[in-house]
């Protein structure tokens, strides 16, 4: 044990894979009890970590879908604008403008998707 550490100190290391006892200058019974409790806590946390990973993956999927929706809406608006410019440069009678998706309506659609996702996933 290092000179700057008092006797009887428990050294615990958490490395992301679990909690490990590094050293304990106490009887082995105490060490066994602490090891048991650490194992119990890790077992109790395992389903929570699994659920958290599942929820994060679901939210990341939803974020990708929202991003795809926004990109598709922007591509549609850009294509309609290109058609209007082409018609104007060809001297064609301008077609009735295609109603784009107003920003407020798009925001409402995204909120609806997120709300539905929360309802279905139990996050709400």
Q: CA–CA separation, 61 vs 93, rounded Å?
A: 43
Q: CA–CA separation, 122 vs 92, rounded Å?
A: 53
pTM above 0.75, yes or no: no
Structural domain boundaries in the chain: 11-121
Quote the pLDDT of residue 50. 94
The pLDDT averaged over each successive group of 10 residues in the chain (124 residues) is 47 62 65 89 94 90 86 88 88 66 73 76 65
For Cα atoms 15, 16, 17, give the angle at the middle one, nearest 5 degrees: 90
The torsion of the CA quartet 50, 52, 56, 62, rounded to 10 degrees, works out to: 100
Q: CA–CA separation, 99 vs 42, rounded Å?
A: 56
Quote the pLDDT of residue 53. 93
């Amino acid at each position: 044990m290092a000179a700057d550490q008092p006797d009887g100190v428990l050294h615990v290391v958490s490395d992301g894979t679990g909690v490990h006892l590094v050293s304990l200058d106490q009887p082995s019974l105490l060490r066994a009890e602490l090891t048991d409790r650490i194992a119990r806590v890790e077992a109790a946390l395992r389903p929570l970590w699994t659920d958290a990973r599942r929820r994060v993956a679901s939210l990341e999927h939803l974020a990708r879908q929202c991003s795809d929706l926004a990109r598709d809406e922007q591509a549609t608006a850009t294509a309609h604008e290109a058609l209007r410019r082409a018609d104007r440069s060809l001297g064609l009678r301008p077609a009735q403008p295609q109603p784009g998706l107003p920003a407020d309506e798009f925001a409402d659609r995204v909120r609806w998707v997120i709300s539905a996702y929360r309802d279905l996933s139990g996050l709400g």
